[in-house]
Chains A and B, each alone.
Chain A
Amino acid sequence: MKRKLVLSACLVVITLSSFGYYVFSHSDYPEVAIVGEWREVSWVYDRNNLDEKVKQEIGSDERVDIANHLVIHEFENWTFRKDYSIKLHERSGKEHFAKWRLKDRGRILTLLNDDETVEVYSVESLKKNELVLHFDTDVHARGIVKITLKKIK
């Protein structure tokens, strides 16, 4: 009886460990998929006003209003590197470097700036060529802003 119990316990531990090993050896997929250069294609509010049938693009002035506490409103290109650094840049040559991390199975993107401020974005979807980020803004009643990026390379 005791032998049977020990054997069953060993079997459970081996199965669980194998399952865990298999899961965690593949779980870095979002970290692999996000590496590369991305360009912003749109900034929209996730909720429309009643009279708006199509989601309204947020203009550059409004971007400054709602995201002045975030570095991202100043840049259109995002380059995620394998070493967990990110370069935000523009054609004019303006650049900003930070560190990126994904949390909660790749649903949260955090940017850690050199001044130790942390910016948190929700990863709504991460596909091969498209990255959709959400962030909360308390400036505007419509709340969540949706940023869509397309992969360049």
Chain B
Amino acid sequence: MLRRFSNSRTFQDNLRLGVFTALIAGMVNVASLVLFYSFTSNLTGHFAILAQEIADGKWFQMLVVLFWIVLFFSGSFLSNNLIINSTRKNAFVSHSIPMVLEIGCFIFVGIYGQFFYAETLTQTEILVAVLLFSMGLQNGLTASISNFQVKTTHLTGLTTDLAIHLSLLTKKKYRMNAQVVEKTKLMAAIMSAYLAGGVFSGLIIQSVHFQVFYFISAAMLGVLTYDFVKTYVPFYVNKKKHDMILKTRLEKIQSTLKNTAKKNGVLESK
């Protein structure tokens, strides 16, 4: 899911990445809406609120919204920076760092919410800021490694693009185009996953509250482990096989050399 980069990714890679991250985004957004009365996976509303706060002259409220936007921006910036500075050798590691940071954010929100949260305004705003940073990380990661094919928190753009692609599919010419069909499938899957994540989160949040973030972290950790196994296990298995083959060949050469030396010794003594 995370190993391949840009154009070397297959449709299946992007589909898996899109569905999984959209599920996470949907869950986080509904959880933050229920717990903090604030959206955390989308920024369009925050820009509108920022403009409104500026117009109303509420400077500190405006700064809070601006800080949230800056954190989302920083998350995406950091993700992409890690990816473009990675080499082919450490691609998995650098692609995983944003996800590890994201898991760290979720665990922090989960622990703080469960044990220390007194529902004050400042605490709420800080936790929303942490979640916005994590969503920025995720959006930056998915968009960057998929060559901008997958954007899981960008539902306005996604709905527009899906509508455009579905209208294209009304013509036979485009239905024959595998790229258009795949892109439509990908977008529909992301949208459904986002919705499913939101519904699931909405169903469990009243009984699990902040523990929903542990659940999300566990799921992400599971994906990271799966990807790690897929990346490194074949490498070590192949290395072992390769070493064995080398060893056998070396032994063969050594025994051949020994035999030749023996033969030569016998001939010389004769």
Contacts and interface: CB of A to CB of B under 8 A. Distances in A.
| Chain B binds chain A | yes
Interface of A: 12, 16, 19-20, 22-24, 26-31, 84, 101-108, 120
Given A19-B70, A105-B64, A27 B122 contact: yes
Contacts of A23: 60, 63-64, 66-67
Interface in B1-53: 36-38
Interface in B59-117: 60-61, 63-67, 70-71, 74
B70 A105 contact: no
Nearest to B35: A103
A29 B60 contact: yes
A20 B67 contact: yes
A101 B119 contact: yes
Contacts of B122: 24, 27-28
A20 B129 contact: yes
B125 A24 contact: yes
B37 A27 contact: no
B126 interface: yes
B67 A102 contact: no
A106 B121 contact: yes
> Top 6 A-B pairs ranked by shortest CB distance?
A103-B37, A104-B37, A108-B37, A101-B119, A23-B63, A104-B38
Contacts of B61: 27, 29-30, 105-106
Contact of A103 (B60, B70, B124): B124
Contact of A102 (B63, B121, B126): B121
A106 B67 CA distance: 16
B64 A103 contact: no
Nearest to A19: B67
A27 B119 contact: no
Nearest to B74: A16
Contacts of A103: 36-38, 119, 121, 124
B36 A104 contact: yes
Contacts of A105: 61, 64-65, 121, 125
A105 B99 CA distance: 28
A84 B122 CA distance: 14
Contacts of A19: 67, 70
Nearest to A100: B119
Contacts of A30: 61, 121
A26 B63 CA distance: 10
Output the residue of A20, A84, A120 with the most chain B CB within 10 A: A20
Given A104-B37, A105-B65, 10 more contacts: A19-B67, A26-B63, A27-B63, A27-B64, A29-B61, A84-B120, A101-B121, A105-B125, A106-B61, A108-B37
A107 B121 CA distance: 10
A29 B121 CA distance: 9
Interface string B188-227: 0000000000000000000000000000000000000000
B75 to A, nearest CB: 11
Contacts of B126: 24
A101 B61 CA distance: 17
B245 to A, nearest CB: 40
A75 B118 CA distance: 27
Nearest to A20: B67
A56 B136 CA distance: 47
B73 to A, nearest CB: 10
Contacts of B37: 103-104, 107-108, 120
Contacts of A24: 64, 122, 125-126
A74 to B, nearest CB: 25
Given A104-B36, A105-B64, A31 B70 contact: no
Contacts of B125: 24, 27, 105
Contacts of A28: 120-122
